[in-house]
Structure 1
Amino acid sequence: MGHCSQDYYLCWTTRLLRVINLLCACCSLAKSSGAHGSGIKEFRTHTSLKAIRGGSVLLHAIPEPGEHTRVEESFWGYGPESQSILLLRIRNGKEDPQWFGLEDKYKQRVQVPNMTSLRIHNLTSQDSGQYWTQFTFPKGRLIKLVFHLDVYDPVPPAQIRATSVSITPSWCNVTLECGATGALDVLNVTWGSKGLPTELEQRGTPGSTDPGTLAVSLPLSQPNVSLTCVVSNPVDQKNATVDLVDICSQDSYGDRTAILMGSIRMSYLAVILILVAGICLWMIYEKVMEMRRSRLYISF
């Protein structure tokens, strides 16, 4: 009522016309839907579509071979049949579609390339669901199509980290983990290698049920070996690559050993300092107690 305060009759007349148009559209749908019972052929097809959040998707009806009959009218809706919402109607010869529902949600993001296509831009996760369309041809012939749309989030950057490194005089045993931080969808993880012999690839199969974990044993004499992790969902993928020579090199092993030995030395030094400080405090305490006992003896 707030929008009708300035021109009450004009506002309610506009609303009444919209309701009448909606009723006419529903009657047209019901009439065309019931026509196939009189012998007019009807086709129903289901199509699954996958798209990425922020991208666009085209809902397009592909005509059958030899189908060149002009479409007179098309309807587009959203939701399953039990909770279907009529979105818009497109009539041949009319430039702009006629909207009936969810106009605020879709109108600024919907483009109508032709009578049998609908494109939705700037997709969100909430756009996932079932869409349907119905085309009416001359003589009442119908084609109905249902589109099942799944909108996925973009895949975050892939990351590889070494969780375990064990180096012997001849071999480097590495356990790697791959993943994508902050991923909301369930992601697939696959591994690829470059420069790794086939027999070593077989030894490097994942040692756990987690496909994101890979264990590899590499001879130190084997140069230029790299592993690539690919993290993907049905519409997007990211990858990361690590050179095993950087992990397994003797220099890096020596560096890690030096750091470890330095940490051990620092720990020993800290323990020694704590012991020395404790001994000093104990000696000071004994000296103070001896002085107190001396004073008590003199007073007596």
Structure 2
Amino acid sequence: MQGASVSFHVIRNPDLPPVDELEKISWGIVFRSNYIVMLQVFPGADVPEWVNWQDKFQKRVHVFNITTLKIDNLTLEDTGLYRARDSYTRGRQYDQDFHLTVYEPLPLPQIRTTNLSITPGWCNVTVQCDAPGTREDLTMSWESRGLPRELEQREATGPAPNPWTLALSLPLSQPNASLTCVLRNQVDQTTATLDLGDICGHTDPQGQSDADHLPGILVTVVVLLLILGAGLFLWRRGVKKSLEPGRGAGSQEEHRDPMMASTLQS
């Protein structure tokens, strides 16, 4: 992976006679079918002898026990075909090739949901797992937890499209189920998990979701508002009548008994 290290180790050809001794190893890169020597290592020497690419590799390349080459802090440009050429006494030479591919660290996958619908006992949803950035040598798979076996069998692995889509009909009786999108390449793995209970909502014992109760809740609210409005209207009308002229305390004079009025005048 980018930023990591890699080691190449040369193995002596088992067909070589014991009398043939290793004289040197040349490390290089095969570029467009041409072998270009990078450095040479000799038995007993403390440091390698550089031939090419010293500025690019000297601070990152280390040679151990003459037969092992290590490259630190790998970059994407280090990808390529490396070759070790072993030179023995009596003029024998053998090549060993090392194919190196440097990968970027995988980004975290992103899960999105679309086409959500709730039917009696079921949650229908489409999930999409997307991998931003590079897709070279990338595979994607779904892993599930708490789903019926027939749904688990629908899991698949393959090259990642953009994005990878999975349509599901999930039983509402599995509130703790989850789906995990897994991205992999040769050296790294990242995951993202979706809790299906957060998407499909919680259910009551009869299997009804919160969305099933919404119409009844709205009707109840409307009825309460109408009752409250009617009561407020009647109360304001009664207050208005009590304040009209000729009513209240003044109106009591007009309704007294005429005989009582004559007695009071006399």
C-alpha contact (below 8 Å) 1:109/1:120 kept by paired residues:
yes
The answer to whether structure 1 residue 95 and structure 2 residue 82 are counterparts is: no
CA distance in 2, matches of 1:240, 1:129: 32
Of all paired residues, the percent bearing the same amino acid is 47
Aligned partner of 2:240 in structure 1 is none
Matched residue pairs, number? 205
CA deviation string 1:95-127 (max 9, x = no partner):
100001110001111011122211111111111
1:97 & 1:159 partners in 2: Cα distance? 47
Q: Does 1:240 align with 2:192?
A: yes
User: 1:137–1:227: structure 2 CA closer, same or farther, 3 Å change rule?
Assistant: same
Structure with more helix by fraction:
1
Which letter maps to 2:138? L
Pair 1:81–1:240, CA change in 2 (3 A): closer
Preserved CA contact (<8 Å) 1:87 1:102: yes
Residue in 1 aligned with 2:101?
150
CA contact (8 A) 1:158 1:231 kept: yes
Q: Which residue among 154, 164, 175 is the counterpart of 1:223?
A: 175
Computed over aligned residues only, the root mean square deviation of the Cα atoms, in angstroms, reads: 2.9
Matched letter for residue 109 of structure 2: A
Note closer, same or farther for the CA distance 1:253–1:105 as it changes in structure 2 (3 Å cut).
farther
Q: Which residue of 2 aligns with 1:213?
A: 165
Q: Which has the larger radius of gyration?
A: 2
**Distance (Å, rounded) in 2 between the aligned partners of 1:190 and 1:176:** 13
Alignment of 1:1-300 (within 5 A): 52-64=1-13, 70-80=21-31, 82-183=33-134, 185=136, 187-202=138-153, 210=161, 212-250=164-202, 254=211
- Helix, strand or coil for the counterpart of 2:116? strand
Give, in angstroms, the shift of residue 223 of structure 1: 3.3
Query: In the TM superposition, what whole-angstrom CA distance separates every residue of 1:27-61 from its partner, at most 9, and x where no partner exists?
Result: xxxxxxxxxxxxxxxxxxxxxxxxx1111111222
1:73 Cα deviation from its structure 2 partner: 0.8
Q: CA 1:243–1:82 in 2, change beyond 3 Å: closer, same or farther?
A: closer
5+ long unaligned stretches in structure 2: 204-208, 219-266
- The Cα of 1:139 is off from its aligned counterpart by 3.0
Shift of 1:202: 4.1
Gaps of 5+ in 1: 1-51, 262-300
Amino acid at match of 1:58: S
**Does the 8 Å contact 2:142/2:155 carry over to 1?**
no
